[in-house]
Amino acid sequence: MHPTRKDKHQWRKFKSALVSFGTFAAAVLVITPLGLVFFYLLVNGASSVNWDFFTQLPKPVGSPGGGMVNAIFGSLELLALGSVMGIPIGVLGGVYLAEYGTARANSMLRFIADVLNGVPSITWGVVVYGLVVLPFKGFSAYAGGLALGLIMIPLILRTTEEVILLVPNGYREASLALGIARWKTIVHVVMKTASRGIITGILLALARIGGETAPLLFTAFGNRFWNHDLSQPIAALPLQIFTYAISPYDDWHRQAWAGALVLVIGIFCINVLVRVLTRERSRTTA
């Protein structure tokens, strides 16, 4: 017997509801790891994040306590070094793609930047090792900063280009009509208008490389002490977390959780800042 049209309709609606529920369950599953990671970071890390953590150097195995102050400052120094390299090249390259060049050449450059964004971060570490660490015979903060800076370039290039393309053409035309040179128009009108978006892109790149470990393993190398000489190995928070996590000592595991909590909070603060910046921008344009 053929099912009636009504039965069929019921069945189709049921199937649709079933798929809705199934895809909803998938969405819940996708965000579950986030909740779990956060929960365990708080449970295992919060008790070890204290004043000592932010003021003390790591203690040798066996003596409890100690902190990661050198790693926190080391990470900030590495980010600064990376920025010196990555921000000017990335931003100005993005300006070129948005303002100059032929469509075909630019689409090729864009393509290469996208491919570079997919290169595993450990590859950058290997390459910088060959470029800097081997010739200068030693791990150094400079090498670590270079590795991070190179990773930043294609990231910032793409975001800068995108936000500059959003600047209405009328702004450029108005400025050029006043007889202002093109490069001044770009710097003072176009880039100024897009500055919030450019900063957002830079912040996102910093959040991304702030948690990178693989490119630092054999460039910055890590250090258990303070280091103020940039040509020497330097500590970094992600490196310290890695070393402590794979160590056999309970006390170091606690420190690793504390370091991870601090790092994640830092990265999420940047992301919240980005969200605030982008929200205000969309409000002003609307």
Task: Enumerate residues 52-111 that contact other proteins by CB under 8 A.
Answer: 88-90, 92-101, 109, 111
Q: Does 170 bind other proteins (CB under 8 A)?
A: no
**Nearer to other proteins (CB atom), residue 77 or residue 99:** 99
- Residue closest to 64 by CA, chosen among 42, 51, 48, 40: 48
> Which residue in 6, 34, 62, 228 binds other proteins (CB under 8 A)?
34
Q: Does 275 bind other proteins (CB under 8 A)?
A: yes
> Which residue in 84, 166, 174, 246 binds other proteins (CB under 8 A)?
246
Residues within window 202-241 making contact with other proteins, judged by CB under 8 A: 207-208, 210-214, 217-218, 221, 238, 241
In angstroms, the CA 237 to CA 148 distance is 14
In angstroms, the CA 56 to CA 212 distance is 23
Selected range binding other proteins among 24-32, 56-64, 66-74, 192-200, rule: CB under 8 A: 24-32
What is the total count of residues that contact other proteins (CB under 8 A)?
A: 96
Q: Which residues lie below 8 Å from residue 128, measured CB to CB, with a gap of 6+?
A: 143, 146, 147, 150, 215, 219
> Which residue in 3, 47, 84, 184 binds other proteins (CB under 8 A)?
184
**H helix intervals, the chain:** 5-45, 51-55, 69-99, 103-117, 121-128, 141-165, 169-177, 182-184, 191-193, 195-210, 237-245, 250-285
> Which residue in 62, 118, 135, 248 binds other proteins (CB under 8 A)?
118
> Which residue in 68, 113, 143, 155 binds other proteins (CB under 8 A)?
113
Residues within window 186-205 making contact with other proteins, judged by CB under 8 A: 186-187
Q: Crossing angle of helices 103-117/69-99, nearest 10°?
A: 160
